[in-house]
Amino acid sequence: MFIGHFGVALAARRLAPGTSLATLIVGAQLLDLLWPVFLLAGLEHVRISPGITKVTPLDFYDYPFSHSLMMALLWALAAGLFYFMVHRYSRGACVLGALVVSHWVLDYVVHRPDLPLWPGGPKYGLGLWNSWPATIALESLFLGAGIWIYVNSTRSRDKVGTYAFWSLMAFLVVTWLGATFGPPPPNVQVLAFSGLAMWILVLWAWKVDSHREFTPRD
C-alpha cells in the first residue's frame, strides 16, 4: 500500500491535534522509510520480478527488520517513547505508535504472504495486490477519507496552506499512478534511493501543516 498510508496519517491529525502532519506521516510510513536504508546496507533484500503480482513487480522475500510484526511493534514503541521524551504529549505519542503498527496491518491486506511475524518467522498476507480493481478502490478509499477528515479538522491560514496541501495530494496520486502503471525500477539501488526520496514528502507535509491550524470540533 502507498497512498493509503498517507490517508491514515491525514486522518490521525484529528486524533492528535498537537502533532504535526509531517510527524504523523513519518509514523505511518516509518517502516517504508527504514526499508531503503536496510536495503542499501545489505541487511534486507528484494527482487524485481515482473508478474509476481498484478499490481507490483517487487518480491519482498527478505525484510525482517523493517516489516516483521515484531519489529513493527518495537519501532512503534521506540517512536512513541522518543516523541514523548521530546514533546511530553502522551496522546501524540500513542497515536504515533499506533500509526507505525497500522502500516503492517494495511500491508498485510495487500501483500502476498511475505510479511513475517518475527525475523525468520512464518509469513502472512492476504494478497490484494493480485486484484487491480480492489487495490485501487482500497487505496482511493483510504486517501479520500483521510483528505476529508484532515480538511474538516484544519483550516488554512493563507493561500500557501491551501495550495501546498492540494499540490501535495496531487503529487501523491500522480506518483502512485506512475509507480503502479509504469515500468518496474531498473535495479534495486534505484528503488532504494527512490524510497529515500519519500523524506521530501515529509518536508512538504511540514510546510503544509505550518500554514494550517487545527479547528476543534463542536
For the chain, how many structural domains are there in total? Answer: 1
Q: What letter would DSSP give residue 129? A: G
Q: Specify the pLDDT at position 218.
A: 53
> 134 pLDDT band (50/70/90 cuts)?
very high
Contacts for 32-35 with beta carbons within 8 Å, 24 or more apart?
A: 32/5, 32/66, 32/103, 32/195, 32/198, 33/195, 33/198, 33/199, 34/65, 34/66, 34/75, 35/63, 35/66, 35/67, 35/195
- CA–CA distance, 144 with 150 (Å, rounded to integer): 10
**Residue 35 to residues 31, 44, 46, 127, Cα–Cα distance (Å):** 6, 8, 10, 20
% of the chain at pLDDT higher than 70:
99
Residue 140 located in a structural domain = yes
Residue 216 located in a structural domain = no
- Backbone phi and psi for residue 113, each to the nearest 5 degrees, phi listed first: -70, 70
**Residue 39 to residues 42, 63, 76, 78, 93, Cα–Cα distance (Å):** 5, 8, 20, 21, 28
Entry pTM:
0.96
Q: Specify the pLDDT at position 187.
A: 96
- CA–CA distance, 22 with 208 (Å, rounded to integer): 9
Residue 218 located in a structural domain = no
If phi > 0 it is left, if psi is from -120 to 50 it is alpha, else beta; for residue 152 that is: alpha
Residue 171 is part of which domain span? Answer: 3-211
- Quote the mean pLDDT of the chain: 96
Contact predicate 17/66, CB 8 Å: no
Q: Specify the pLDDT at position 1.
A: 86
Q: For 154-210, how does the pLDDT look when each residue is reduced to its tens digit (9 = 90+)?
A: 999 999 999 999 999 999 999 999 988 999 999 999 999 999 999 999 999 999 999
Question: Could you tell me the sign of the dihedral formed by the alpha carbons of 53, 63, 68, 191, in that order?
Answer: negative
Residue 17 located in a structural domain = yes
Q: For 80-97, how does the pLDDT look when each residue is reduced to its tens digit (9 = 90+)?
A: 999 999 999 999 999 999
Q: What letter would DSSP give residue 62? A: E
Residue 131 located in a structural domain = yes
Instruction: Give me the mean pLDDT over the 101-130 stretch.
Output: 98
Residue 37 located in a structural domain = yes
Residue 114 located in a structural domain = yes
